Chain A
């Protein structure tokens, strides 16, 4: 059994709070939950919705069809075409000044109920939350708990007032009832991409995060900010993205793990300093949270349009990694791996995500363990003092276990640390010598690329490996891939790429490549117009996909349309 609720209304009507309320409620009851958000670039007005799906089965991707609509605006009524059989719309005919006689429409006078109790319209989302919870016959103690959690940073007065509104909602005589199948009582937890990246960064010892606010990257900035004091992290809102990345590079040079985050436009401003990180071999993790471009584009919507940009950004030739996690757990693990590779190889590492992933909630078992790998590669205090003849940019030394000269904390020793954006010698000082440059590139480019590649994991394979239909995707389409594999009608194999650049070694990818070479239909799915991922894989592996599914309307793929798309192809 699965059920999808869409909460619709204007910005400022509490759509997000209500949506998150349902996600928390159903996960606390033990259901699997997936939610996503669709909102406009404005503070008040317009039309937004928050869609929550819950299921007794696994669920990781948006649904096209809906079982229950709650709407606080007229536009929400238009989604009736998406209602599944037995689906209903809960609305307030008085406040929308519109009555629907269709019996799928259930008129609930939210505002009148509130007025009767002397309460303001602002509570209409909370009263609707209670009312719909009652439609599902959920014990109200669970609803109280959600209210307490969501408003945990609010005063006891505000919480009590909202609890009272819950009672008012429950006391309304709602005629409609929907039966839910019972689930095990193991309540689940919810993570979104923001939290995944935030947990990964904090757990990897990120001590400095500077950024300039830009949707959809701001969530991570604020999550780390909210935890800054507890985990001894400095967060700074820079005057622009150029400053943000240069500050982070300064902090990294001085000896702490540092990160910045932005979206496409801000990343464009960071490009020169990305190249600086490559030249000075200063570790940094950069979150690139994509939204549709070009230019300002669709600020609050989603796209995977910056894959090739992330791989190629920055002038000159230098080593980097680009990871595109597929769900919140991968966000945490790959942010951790990004820090590890950045520090170990002294390179910039880019985490590529998008609005869809950062704003979507996924449920996990309560005992979820996130195992991070951490190692401090830097020379500090005595270790630095005792290091023989330190040269920041020493040529590769193959007599050493790791032939790369370690980063050292300037000031921790009488030995000096110097680096330069000009081509430099082993001490970091300006050079004009062509032979020195070649030796620097040997380390800075060739050795790093070759050795980082060995650490890149192969793509992840889901479903029947002998299937003749193979769906290949990357990043935030992981949920779609997993669910398509789980469909009960067609045998489909799916291959998910998340450690994208440098691509995994061919010998480590044999299994995936064999599946692709032996398939009858190979379909590349991506959230962009030009097929960047397809082009990247095709040129890397000298192979052609038979078909593709692309979407570039600024919205994430939903399960139903992808399955329909696959049927159309075969």
Chain B
């Protein structure tokens, strides 16, 4: 490939003009290009939501499945062919709402999957309802008394569950996002990158200005395997919002823990075995 633009597949994204998704797509293509990864070497998995359309807009293998179910699909893919890079794109509703149970168990399994969450704090595709990361009290058409649940802190949750790579970036800082993406893709194990994203159509509160006044890049001054310090850092959210790698801890992956695929991929083992020994 000559340029990251060679990932373009000619499909025009169905996103709103000015959407944060454009930045995320561009950063991702650049990250792949700089890592020298070819389109056929990746399998992108997504659920439903504006973010989940991303795999349609670049050259790649892909499975765009059901709302909230990208993690189990990706886990099945990664076990069947652990030589492929398996990457998920999802939104805050897809990942932290509908797919919450799968996220908890992905932390436990530690599959070699990279999960990018476009976290815009709102349901865009269904036009403006509260998401699991919307702040308490926000009024919407579906939350006439304001959002009555506290927002989820995905980084704190991931660190508490020993997720092997936990980071945050921002759709408005492409250089930072690209670098975090590269680290996450190269990390062996389950990597969660929460990407703060603006929604120009439905999130009038957390707009570009709002984020610009709050986000700052940090490089952890603590050992990245220090869970308590990482957890402490994950609590910082408000007037100041840190962007960077919060936690990174090498753990044996789900794929490595399965003896059957120690040496070969499962897909290379596909055969029709003789069953005579079972008939007894």
Contacts and interface: CB of A to CB of B under 8 A. Distances in A.
Q: Interface residues of A toward B: which range?
A: 35 or more
A229 B261 CA distance: 10
Given A251-B266, A416-B61, A246 B260 contact: no
Interface stretch (B78-86, B131-139, B162-170, B201-209): B78-86
B270 A207 contact: yes
Given A254-B267, A430-B53, A202 B80 contact: no
Interface residues of B, number: 54
Given A238-B72, A255-B81, A207 B43 contact: no
B76 A210 contact: yes
Given A280-B65, A417-B61, A421-B65, A256 B279 contact: no
Which of B41, B76, B104, B261 has the largest number of chain A CB atoms within 10 A?
Answer: B76
Contacts of B40: 410-411, 413-416
Contact of B258 (A234, A369, A419): A234
Contacts of B267: 207, 254-256, 409
Nearest to A250: B76
Contact of B260 (A198, A205, A234, A429): A234
B62 A250 contact: no
B79 A251 contact: yes
A207 B273 CA distance: 11
B30 interface: no
A430 B275 CA distance: 43
A103 to B, nearest CB: 42
A246 B105 contact: no
A204 interface: yes
A208 interface: yes
A413 B73 CA distance: 21
Contacts of A210: 76
A410 B61 contact: yes
A419 B71 CA distance: 16
A414 B42 CA distance: 11
Contacts of A410: 40, 43, 61, 81, 84
Nearest to A432: B14
B43 to A, nearest CB: 6
A555 B11 CA distance: 58
A254 B80 contact: yes
A170 to B, nearest CB: 27
Interface string A181-204: 000000001010001001100111
Contact of B270 (A227, A229, A249, A376): A376
Given A254-B76, A280-B65, A418-B60, A232 B266 contact: yes
A244 B59 CA distance: 29
B63 interface: yes
B181 interface: no
A516 interface: no
A254 B43 contact: yes
B213 interface: no
Given A246-B73, A416-B39, A189 B280 contact: yes
Interface string B46-65: 00100001011001111111
A369 B53 CA distance: 50
Contacts of A228: 260
Contact of B101 (A203, A207, A239, A276): A239
Contacts of B55: 418
B79 A276 contact: no
Contacts of A422: 64
Contacts of B271: 205, 232
A404 interface: no
Contacts, number: 190
Interface string A536-559: 000000000000000000000000
Contacts of A257: 270
Interface in B120-154: none
A283 to B, nearest CB: 13
A323 interface: no
Nearest to B83: A411
Contacts of B274: 203
B73 A205 contact: no
A250 B101 contact: no
Nearest to B260: A232
A368 interface: yes
A58 to B, nearest CB: 19
Contacts of A272: 66
A81 B261 CA distance: 57
A208 B273 contact: no
A210 B73 CA distance: 11
Contacts of A419: 62-64
A87 interface: no
A233 interface: yes
B66 A370 contact: no
B182 interface: no
B54 to A, nearest CB: 12
B77 interface: yes
A208 B76 contact: yes
Contact of B272 (A203, A413, A415, A421): A203
A249 B53 CA distance: 19
B107 to A, nearest CB: 11
Contacts of B279: 189, 191, 199, 368-370
Given A254-B267, A256-B266, A249 B73 contact: yes
8 contacts: A203-B273, A247-B75, A251-B266, A272-B66, A276-B66, A370-B279, A411-B84, A418-B61
Given A207-B269, A229-B260, A272-B66, 12 more contacts: A189-B279, A205-B270, A208-B79, A236-B75, A238-B72, A246-B73, A250-B76, A251-B79, A256-B266, A273-B66, A410-B43, A411-B83
